[in-house]
Amino acid sequence: MNNKGAINQDRFNEYRAFLSATDFVEDEKHIYFANANYNAVAVADKDTGIVVRHVPFAGAAAGIKNMHLQCVQSGNRICFLPAGVSCLHLYDMKSGAQRVYEFPEPAETEETLPAPQESWGSFAGDGRVYLLPCRGRQGLWSLTAEDDEPVREDWWDIASGDSVLKHGEMDRDHFYTLQADSDKLYITNVADRTVQGLSLPDEHVRHIAYDGQNFWYTLNGASDIVCWNQEQGVVERYLVPYDIYYIYGIVTYSGICFAKGHLFLLSGDGRFLYVLDREAGELKTLCEVECARGAFSAEEMMPFFKRKDHSLLCMLQNAGEILTIDLKTLEVVQSSEAFGFDAAIEDEVWKYLYKILFDRKALVFEEAGVADLGLLLQYCMEDDRG
C-alpha cells in the first residue's frame, strides 16, 4: 500500500472490494450467502473459505448494496429475501440456476421504499416456508419445495400499512410480528390461519425478542429493557443507568437477541456487545468491536444474529466482521471475513468488483495484483466505448 493509501485508512469504508455476509445457508460442502456490498450470490468452500462461485443476481443493477440481507433454504433452493428492493431471488443449489420473482406493490416513492437495513424474514412451519415482509402492505407469502413461485396468504391481514415490521419465531406453528415504533404486537398461527393482535404496555417499541415464555423489548428514546408476558403483564423492567459515553446520556441498541437464557444487545453505534445481568439489573460489556477495515456508520453495523451449534453469531451488516459468542462461557471471538477466490474465477471477480467501485467514484488505492493503473485504464477505455 502506498503512503497515500495509508493516510486514507479512515476512508476504507468506501473501499468495498471484500465480501460481507449477514446470513447464510450451508450444505455438507459449501456456504451460500448474498454479498451485502454487491448484488451477487457467493458460494464458498466450508473448509477453506475459498469462494468457488460468485454470480451476480439476475435483473439487478451491479452496484446495488444490501439487496438481500437474509436467506432461507427451501428444498434444493435458497430464497434470498428482499431488503432494499421488492424482489425475491430463488437460487438452485445444484444447478446454480436463478429465478426472480417481483412482489406486486403500489407505486413506490423515495419516502415509502424500504431502508436498506429493513429486511424480510422467514418462518418454517406447517410444511411451508413463510416469507415475512418488512412492510405490512407487502403481505405474507409462502412456498413449498415444489412451488415454482411464492403464493400470497390472503388470510394474513394486519393494520400496519407502511410501518416497519420485525418478526421472530415462537414455536413450530407461531411467529410474532412487531409493528416497530408502536405498541402493536401480532401473533400468527399458521396452522389455523389466525392472527391475534396485542397491545404492549409501552409505545415506541423498537426491538423485540422471545425467550419461549416472555417477550423482551427495548424502546426508542429510552434505555429501558422490559420483560413482558401475555398473561402476567410486565414481569420485570430494567432501568439501565445513563452512560456518559452516549449522546444525551441514553444507551441505545441497534439489535437484540435472546439465546440460552441470555439477552444480548448491540449498542446503537455498533461499538459494544452487551449481555443483560438479570440479577444485578445492569448491562455487562462482553466486548468492544474493533473493525479491521476502519470506521463504519451505525447503519452499516446493524447486527444479524444467527444460532450455529453451541454459539450465537452476531454478523455486522457491511463491515465484514463476525462476533462469535460461546453460549456456555459467554466468551466472544471477533473475526474479519476473509474470503479468498478460487484461481479460476479470481480475475473475473476482481474486475467485476472494481468496476463497481470505479462507477461509485470510491477511493481506490493501488494494490499489487488486484488494482493497478492498467485496470483503471481498461475501465476508462471500456467506458468511452459505451
- pTM attached to this predicted model: 0.87
Comparing CA positions, the residue from 192, 376, 220, 30 lying closest to residue 200 is 220
Closest CA to 361 of 116, 63, 115, 110: 63
Question: Is the CA virtual torsion 172, 135, 318, 268 positive or negative?
Answer: negative
The predicted structure's pLDDT at residue 16:
62
Q: Can you give the pLDDT at residue 201?
A: 96
pLDDT profile of the chain (386 residues), mean per 10 = 42 62 94 90 93 93 87 95 90 94 70 68 92 91 91 91 90 96 96 96 95 95 91 92 55 91 93 92 90 78 92 92 95 90 90 81 63 69 59
Give the DSSP per-residue string, 69-86: EEEEEETTEEEEEESSSS
pLDDT at 126: 82
Residue that the C-alpha cell 454487491 belongs to? 38
The DSSP H or E segment spanning 315 is strand 311-316
Domains of the chain, residue spans: 120-199
What is the distance between the alpha carbons of residues 222 and 351, in angstroms, rounded to a whole number?
46
Neighbours of 339 (CB within 10 A): 20
Residue 115: the pLDDT is: 62
Residues 6+ apart with CB under 8 A from 294: 9, 10, 11, 12, 13
What does the pLDDT read at residue 9?
Answer: 43
What pLDDT is stored for residue 352 in this prediction? Answer: 86
Treating both helix axes as pointing N-terminal to C-terminal, what angle do 373-385 and 346-359 enclose, rounded to 10 degrees? 70
CA atoms of 16 and 133, how far apart (whole Å): 28
Which residues are bridge partners to 325 per DSSP? 312, 332
- How many whole angstroms separate alpha carbon 173 and alpha carbon 181? 26
Residue 107 is classified by DSSP as P
**Contacts of 320 by beta carbon, 8 Å cutoff, 6+ apart:** 18, 19, 20, 293, 336, 337
pLDDT for 371 equals: 67
Cα distances (Å, whole numbers) of residue 190 to 4, 96, 103, 124, 174: 57, 31, 21, 10, 6
